[in-house]
Structure 1
Amino acid sequence: MFKQKLTRVVKNVDGTLGCMLIGFDGIPIESVFGGEAMPHMNAVAVELSNLLDKFRRLQIYEVGEVNEVSITLGQVTALARVVAEEYLLILALDANADVNRGQTMLRLIAPYVEREMM
């Protein structure tokens, strides 16, 4: 059900390595890869979900909600966007990719994913 939207992101952002939807519990829901599968992407996704969960706990200090983060690991940039409170859209990009385009695409598909999750 989500594969179509993830595929759209992969096809519309040059340099995309993969895009996935994952729960904050670390369980992947769906993933699409630009070329060959990235076995370590699941591990990165789980760590990003842990990191975002820690930021979410900061809300008790009234610093505001964290909706999006990016992290660069070597030659890969991973973008993560919170959707439907309990899930993350994660986009892995190579060093030459347009990060702003990736962020925009995640923002565009996030409402669709949220509607489907409810």
Structure 2
Amino acid sequence: MALERILNDVLKNVDGSIGIAVAGFDGMPVATAQTDPNFPMEESVASAAMGLTYAKKMMEDAGAGKVKESMTMADAAIFFMRPLDEEYWIGIALAANGNLGKARLEMKKALPLVQKELH
């Protein structure tokens, strides 16, 4: 599938990448790729969808508009997510020392390709 190829290209170009997914706000993955076979992809996607949904509601309630990006940093990992539209989002998991700037750039470049595949 073309989506997996696009996602694998992003992972290949980002140092410290662990996994990447395109998923629905319902927490169901559409396509995934990962460099770490031990990464709990399905659980992470479901939790990330919930977090992004809460971030969207928080910004709407505050009158701040639509969420463009969301990031969570922890001791061992960084999760960076972008809504694609009202149904889908894309997110990448990086090691704590991963290249976040490159991840943001590669995801931005991949967005039109992913959106084309979804619609």
Tell me if the contact between 2:81 and 2:90 (Cα under 8 Å) persists in the aligned partners: yes
* Structure 1 runs, 4 residues or longer, greater than 4 Å off: none
Which amino acid in 2 is paired with 1:56? K
Q: CA deviation at 1:89?
A: 0.9
Instruction: Tell me how far apart the structure 1 counterparts of residues 100 and 62 of structure 2 sit (CA, whole Å).
Output: 30
Tell me if the contact between 1:26 and 1:49 (Cα under 8 Å) persists in the aligned partners: yes
Which amino acid in 2 is paired with 1:74? D
| Secondary structure, counterpart of 1:67 in structure 2 | coil
Identify unmatched segments of 5+ residues in structure 1.
none
Which amino acid in 1 is paired with 2:23? I
Instruction: Tell me how far apart the structure 2 counterparts of residues 94 and 32 of structure 1 sit (CA, whole Å).
Output: 15
> What are the within-5 Å matches in structure 2 for residues 19-58 of structure 1?
19-39=20-40, 41-57=41-57, 58=59
> What are the within-5 Å matches in structure 2 for residues 1-118 of structure 1?
1-39=2-40, 41-57=41-57, 58-59=59-60, 61-118=62-119
User: Percent of aligned positions with the same letter in both sequences?
Assistant: 26
The CA deviation string for residues 59-105 of structure 1, in whole angstroms up to 9 with x for no partner, is 25531110211112331111111113211111110122111111111
Q: How many residues were matched structurally?
A: 117
Tell me if the contact between 2:74 and 2:96 (Cα under 8 Å) persists in the aligned partners: no
Instruction: Tell me how far apart the structure 1 counterparts of residues 96 and 8 of structure 2 sit (CA, whole Å).
Output: 20
Instruction: Tell me how far apart the structure 1 counterparts of residues 73 and 37 of structure 2 sit (CA, whole Å).
Output: 20
Which amino acid in 2 is paired with 1:22? A
Instruction: Tell me how far apart the structure 2 counterparts of residues 16 and 55 of structure 1 sit (CA, whole Å).
Output: 23
TM-score, structure 2 as length reference = 0.87
Query: What is the Cα-based RMSD across aligned positions, in Å?
Result: 1.6
Instruction: Tell me how far apart the structure 2 counterparts of residues 7 and 86 of structure 1 sit (CA, whole Å).
Output: 22
Instruction: Tell me how far apart the structure 2 counterparts of residues 66 and 95 of structure 1 sit (CA, whole Å).
Output: 23
